[in-house]
Amino acid sequence: MEKFDIGIVGAGPGGYSAALAAATNGKKVVLFEKENIGGVCLNKGCIPTKSILHVSELYKKVKNIEIFGISVSDVSFDFSKVIERKNKTIETLRKGIELALKNAKVTVIKAEAEILDKNTIKANNEVFDCNEIICANGSSPKELKGLEFDHKFILSSDDILELETLPKNILIVGSGAIGIEWARILSNFGVEVTLIEIAPHLLPLADIEVSKRIERSFKSAKIKFLTDTGIQKVENGSVQLSDGNILTPQKILAATGRVPNCDHKIEGITYIGDAAGEIQLAHYAIKQAYDKTLNICYRKDLIPSVVYGTPEIAWVGKREQDLENEDYQKSIQLVSALGKAQADGETEGFIKLLVQNNKIVGAHIMCAEASSLLMQVVIAMQNNIDLDNLKEICFAHPTYSEGIFEAIQKLA
Q: Which domain holds residue 112?
A: 2-139+259-294
Domain CATH number, residue 337: 3.30.390.30
Q: Do 208 and 277 fall within a single domain?
A: no
Instruction: Return the pLDDT at 62.
Output: 96
Crossing angle, helix 402-409 and helix 370-382, to 10 degrees?
Answer: 50
pLDDT digits (tens, 9 = 90+) for 175-195: 999 999 999 999 999 999 999
Domain match, 189 and 56 both: no
Burial 96-107 (b: 16+ CB within 10 A, else e): ebbebbeebebb
Q: Are residues 287 and 182 part of one domain?
A: no
373: left (phi over 0), alpha (psi -120 to 50) or beta: alpha
Ordered strands of the 305-307 beta sheet: 305-307, 312-317, 359-367, 350-356, 329-334
Looking at the structure, do residues 16 and 101 belong to the same domain, yes or no? yes
Which of 201, 234, 256 lies at the terminal end of a domain, its last residue?
256
The SS3 call for residue 332 is strand
Angstrom distance (rounded) from CA 123 to CA 108: 11
Nearest-angstrom CA–CA distance, 359 and 367: 23
Together in a domain, 84 and 24: yes
- Of 47, 50, 43, give the one whose Cα is nearest residue 308: 50
**Position 54: which residue type?**
H
Q: What are phi and psi of 69, to 5 degrees?
A: 85, 15
27 and 121 share a domain? yes
Question: Would residue 344 be called left, alpha or beta, if left means φ above 0 and alpha means ψ between -120 and 50 degrees?
Answer: alpha
Mean pLDDT along residues 65-69:
94
Is 249 in contact with 133 (CB distance < 8 Å)?
no
User: Are 135 and 265 in the same domain?
Assistant: yes
Confidence class for position 127, pLDDT limits 50, 70, 90: very high
**What band does 1 get if pLDDT is binned at 50, 70 and 90?**
confident
**Nearest in space to 178 (alpha carbons), one of 287, 280, 285, 275:** 280
Residue of 224, 152, 163 whose CA lies nearest to 193: 224
Mean pLDDT of 247-276: 95
Number of domains in the chain: 3
- Note whether 38 and 166 are same-domain residues: no
Examine the domain organization and report whether 105 and 149 are in the same domain: no
Taking residue 309's Cβ as centre, other Cβ atoms within 10 Å add up to 24
- Look at residue 263 in the predicted model and tell me its pLDDT: 81
Q: Cα separation of 139 and 119, whole Å?
A: 23
DSSP, residue by residue, 196-241:
E-SSSSSSTTS-HHHHHHHHHHHHHTT-EEESS--EEEEETTEEEE
**325 and 268, same domain (yes or no):** no
pLDDT band at 37; cut points 50, 70, 90: very high
53 confidence band (pLDDT: 50, 70, 90): very high
Looking at the structure, do residues 336 and 365 belong to the same domain, yes or no? Answer: yes
pLDDT digit string (tens) for 313-370?
999 999 999 999 999 999 999 999 999 999 999 999 999 999 999 999 999 999 999 9
How many angstroms separate the CA atoms of 187 and 166, rounded? 11
Q: Residue 95 above 80 pLDDT?
A: yes
pLDDT reported for residue 264: 85
The per-residue pLDDT for range 372-386, each reduced to its tens digit, is 999 999 999 999 999
Render 106-126 in DSSP notation, one character per residue: -EEE-S--EEEETTEEEETTE
pLDDT at 412 over 80: no
Q: Please check whether residues 149 and 222 belong to one and the same domain.
A: yes
Over its C-alpha atoms, the chain yields an Rg (Å, rounded) of 23
**pTM for the whole structure:** 0.95
Q: Of 256, 277, 311, which residue sits at a domain end? A: 256
CATH number, residue 270: 3.50.50.60
Q: Determine the distance from the C-alpha atom of residue 147 to the mean position of all C-alpha atoms in its chain, rounded to a whole number.
A: 23
Position 31 pLDDT exceeds 90: yes
At 63, is the pLDDT very low, low, confident or very high (cuts 50, 70, 90)?
A: very high
